[in-house]
Structure 1
């Protein structure tokens, strides 16, 4: 018998109590931070920590719940913090271990509680009615202890993955054909990207009764992201754009984060919005895999960052874009195909370790979700 089973058998053999969230916590609105100075207190928005200020509004611990936008992003904080008005914070009563509440709410699909017609949103009145299990504190602490072990392992794997990524990028810069070495080889030609990349534009009119798989591009050159398929009736736009395997696609809004990818064969039927330009590459002159390495180079990204245009908005820079004309006019140093091929081969051996770490991280996250859901499925006491 597990320790949790022993505790439940001892402390609540007839099942655990459940109660509305409003009886267990006070849900509060965030506040404006703009009058504060720079400091060490984190300010949380729906995307995470936005900046740091010199005053704290709340002591922690607390669970931060999105009020608008991405309703599935919860945050647990155990130190002084500040929140903006797109997040609720919680003042947690003595019947709940704060992190137990965080783990429980992360299983509740809060986005399904959205009743708004426009921007997804949650209200205090809806959240207050959410029924929450309240097992004895000893049971809550044991569940938190076990789940914390999983999250600690995930944090260690993430740190290892970031270290390997930095190692790969540093190694890449030492090779012939790298952006930093572009002036050191007589075989290097300076060209505009438009000379080897042609934009591919195939508009698709959105039909209400047709299902579409929208694609995105992950940061740091980690590939294409396939979103959950949707009926056209649930898509705001009226036009989407086709992609083709082997073509380059990038996110105009997050190029400075290395948001470039090559479309894989399994996503040939995916579609993108106009924020994701698609380009066919002249493979007789440039290898897509080499171009990805070049575009992810720190030196290259700094050059791109100097070109992005628009108005920065918050911490996401969501209004800053690198448009198609800028992409096509961007100058690169292009080595010979043989040099490109050797660079891709050598870096590929290093990247294989990253791929293994990503696979392990994915497996650990699935394992965590399985045990989290299993541990937090508690039998309610019969009254």
Structure 2
């Protein structure tokens, strides 16, 4: 029997009292705010509104020591946040202000609400703009265990949170280190070795995509199918041979240029195709390491993004890449740069090794214990796993 179970058996052997959120908290909407107001009132107080990150920072605040927020509208509807100190709560965020801290602790309530994301999601409507109605939120059932148990749970979950935060901060530092060395390796400012500058059109072979709609990609997608079709952003469809014309399927190592919306360069070595407004680059030149070229293009995306942002719809043309010059050091240098950056990238981003794997495992462990710690039996309701009476 765990310490929490022992405390539950001693302090509430018949189960835990439950109340509606509106009974223990005051739920209110924040103040109207927009980007114009933020631009005209820049300051140090974060604006907590509908996103997971602050909408901006202003020189006034309307909230202090009232940390729990719940997004009321938009794509992040139902998201529960913890915001300490002074900040500005926007009109797309509900406060959940505890009426009596002798009944329920703010941090305990926060952890319970975070663990209740599915229940909160069920209260939301998704017709049109996703929304969470205040009266529905106020009816959400909340357990009220004794304060001693709440304090113990908060202490345990705080330790888990702190550990994950520390690991994430360390990973962020490593990613900064990776960015520094990547920039250094790909700048060629020191001219330690001879570099030849050539356009992509001179050294690479351009490939064409396939004519396909988003709807067709969705209907053709089959999990595990051998041919991947790329669209904008992170969108793709895996299809079988024969689902698109054979002439549109590429099997060579290539860089796919995502030329509309979010400009990006995708390196790929398996069978693929892509929407026909994109293009790809491959190489038959034995003195070119294509993955090196990908690293260089990816490190200079900002150049192409600036070109794209000058258009009504963000996009670049094949001319923009064809005439773009890249540095070509000797092949052993290209290979060494790829080796170094691959190792850095694996340490920083590979979910199977290093810190990313450790963070993933710790987060799963945290989620598991959070759910276990915050699962209570109501008064008068019994389960096989519930300690119903105090042992003799």
The bucket for the TM-score relative to the shorter chain is: 0.7 to 0.9
Alignment partner of 2:357: what SS?
Answer: helix
TM-score normalised to the size of structure 2?
0.74
User: What's 1:2 paired with?
Assistant: 2
Match of 1:130 among 113, 136, 140: 140
| CA offsets 1:293-312 (integer angstroms, 9 cap, x no match) | 32443xx355345434169x
Are 2:296 and 1:303 equivalent residues in the alignment?
A: no
Matched pairs, number? 348
In 1: Cα distance, 2:188 partner to 2:69 partner = 43
**Which entry has the higher C-alpha Rg, 1 or 2?**
2
Structure 1 pair 301/181, CA: closer, same or farther in 2 (3 Å)?
Answer: farther
Are 2:71 and 1:66 equivalent residues in the alignment?
A: yes
Contact kept? 2:232, 2:260, Cα under 8 Å: no
Match of 1:363 among 361, 364, 370: 361
User: What's 1:39 paired with?
Assistant: 43
Structure 1 pair 360/380, CA: closer, same or farther in 2 (3 Å)?
Answer: same
Indicate the larger mover: 335-344 or 158-167. Answer: 335-344
User: What's 1:169 paired with?
Assistant: 179
Are 2:131 and 1:121 equivalent residues in the alignment?
A: yes
Q: Any stretches of 5+ residues in structure 2 without a counterpart?
A: 224-228, 239-247, 382-392
Are 2:336 and 1:339 equivalent residues in the alignment?
A: no
User: What's 2:226 paired with?
Assistant: none
Structure 1 pair 309/328, CA: closer, same or farther in 2 (3 Å)?
Answer: farther
User: What's 2:314 paired with?
Assistant: 321
In 2: Cα distance, 1:283 partner to 1:10 partner = 75
Q: Any stretches of 5+ residues in structure 1 without a counterpart?
A: 219-223, 230-240, 312-318
Are 2:105 and 1:97 equivalent residues in the alignment?
A: yes
Match of 2:291 among 289, 292, 307: 289
Are 2:163 and 1:153 equivalent residues in the alignment?
A: yes
User: What's 1:83 paired with?
Assistant: 89
Structure 1 pair 171/272, CA: closer, same or farther in 2 (3 Å)?
Answer: same
Are 2:61 and 1:56 equivalent residues in the alignment?
A: yes
Structure 1 pair 13/167, CA: closer, same or farther in 2 (3 Å)?
Answer: same
Structure 1 pair 122/307, CA: closer, same or farther in 2 (3 Å)?
Answer: same
User: What's 1:236 paired with?
Assistant: none
Indicate the larger mover: 209-218 or 15-24. Answer: 209-218
Structure 1 pair 115/173, CA: closer, same or farther in 2 (3 Å)?
Answer: closer
Alignment partner of 1:61: what SS?
Answer: coil
TM-score normalised to the size of structure 1?
0.76
Structure 1 pair 202/301, CA: closer, same or farther in 2 (3 Å)?
Answer: closer
User: What's 1:17 paired with?
Assistant: 17
Contact kept? 2:4, 2:149, Cα under 8 Å: yes
Alignment partner of 2:170: what SS?
Answer: helix
Alignment partner of 2:135: what SS?
Answer: helix
